[in-house]
Amino acid sequence: MKTEIAYISLGSNYHNSEEMLARAALSLGALAGCMIAESSPIYHTEPQGLKDQPWFANQVLKLQLAGWPARDFLECILNIERRLGRVRGQGPRFGPRAIDMDLLLHGQAMINDSLCILPHPRMLERAFVLKPLLDIDPDIRIGAVAARDALGKLRWHQAGDRIYQTIET
């Protein structure tokens, strides 16, 4: 069975946000053919777009997947989100959420259809994705772009476990 390396970002800004990240990781680790190879530290990130909400807890996981095509795995993580209380399409875009799980990379897959876009289309714009991704894999490239170079072009800074960034929405 073919094994792929995948990266997924987790985010939550509910009162128990770090617990929500742990529950999401536990759900992923319980899947047949899915092993969590590495977990980044958890960072706390100021909200983007809608500023009047709690800060987010963010983390990136490196997964070893066996028998999980990208679209099937994406559907699976959307189901995990629903089980953990995420309701997509309600509330403001970039608003509060119990859990957000984004499939960033799935092997070398390059997909752009109505169900799945890989690599994740906005990951190179987000310090709260790139910083924890680089913690796990300092030499990772997204297509032809070194993640380190992409992070260096962003307007962001870090103070302890907090990430500050100005993103135009």
Residue 161: other Cβ atoms inside 10 A = 12
Residue 100 falls in the annotated catalytic set: yes
93 is catalytic: no
Q: Of these residues, 23, 72, 83, 86, which one is catalytic?
A: 86
Q: Pick the catalytic residue: 82, 88, 102, 139?
A: 102
Instruction: Verify whether residue 102 is a known catalytic residue.
Output: yes
- DSSP codes, 37-97: EEEPPPEEE--SS--SSPPEEEEEEEEEEES--HHHHHHHHHHHHHHTT--TTSS-TT---
Select which of 71, 100, 141, 148 is catalytic: 100
Which residue among the candidates 52, 83, 97, 149 is catalytic per the annotation?
97
Q: Is 86 a catalytic residue?
A: yes
The catalytic site residues sit at 86, 97, 100, 102
